[in-house]
Structure 1
Amino acid sequence: MNTHYGYAILASLLAAGVTTTGLYVIRRFGAWGQYNASYFSCFAAGVLISVAFLHIIPHALHMNEQAPVYLLGGYLAFHLLNRFIHAYVCDSTPDTAIGLIPLLGIGLHSTLDGVVYAITFSVSVLTGTLAGIGMVLHEFPEGIVTYVLLLRSGFTTKKSWLLAFL
């Protein structure tokens, strides 16, 4: 097995451990976690945006002259997906949509996290480590926010925990 993929698998396992820790914390200290969930989200977003703009995007622009097109295409695709979901899902079943939309998004996001781990570690160990740190740090609040949203949309405590873990 290529060493870079070993690092990617290690980063993925670390991310799963951090998500599990976040879920444990929210179950143990539920009121505190729900009160501070927005702070966790802001921290996670800041870490990811910083790593993306300061390290990953410059590398992509240097490596591929088509990178700006892909960057813009990805942004537009997710913007349109967001508009579609709000227009057609949130209006018809608001309570369920509050939990299901993030669950579907986090599922896709987690799949892409694995791809990003593999790609960034194949570029260099430093790039993979920096991306991995940012991505692993955002797993803690991601698990908490997903769990809270599932609870608020009417899922049971046990089902919310299980779905947020997956």
Structure 2
Amino acid sequence: MNNALKEIAAKYGVSEEKIPEILSGMKIKDAQKPSKPQLEGFEKICIMLQEGKPMAQALVMLLDEAKNGRAGKETSTNTPNAEEIDSFILTQAQRAADATLASLPQIAVEEHQRLKELFVQRYRQRIAQQLQDPEFRQQFQLAIEGQQMGKFNFLNSMTSNIALPSSSSSNS
């Protein structure tokens, strides 16, 4: 396998085991001597993989880009007609929709992580706030002293599950 391919893959965090799959998808037969356009295409695939795009989507996007690049060169002397413009716009709309759909799972994961972090932050804030309250400290000290004397007085005001949304209505 060509060292340039390995270097490109390493640069974008793509494992060497994926290189043959990428080359196969790009229909590169000689991995020892890829052409400059093939190396550029390989790098584009690696960039898309690093961005989280699935292999199949990255390969399709590269293929579409190659087709559109050739078509653009062939028709550059001709003025596109309305049908060609419509077709181009519809293709772009399809690609944009596909890219959005492909990114939805990652968006959901990021939102879930954000909510977990918000919960932990608020939880810690509440604990820190309560630990600073002189009345809580006094009750805590009394509870500890009571336990040491064989009494098991727990903090009555703090027995509800404050993490549950309905905790305020369950104390009645």
TM-score by length of 2: 0.27
Q: Radius of gyration: which is bigger?
A: 2
TM normalised by structure 1 equals 0.27
Q: Choose between structure 1 and 2: higher helix proportion.
A: 1
For CA contacts below 8 A with separation 6 or more, give which structure has more relative contact order. 1
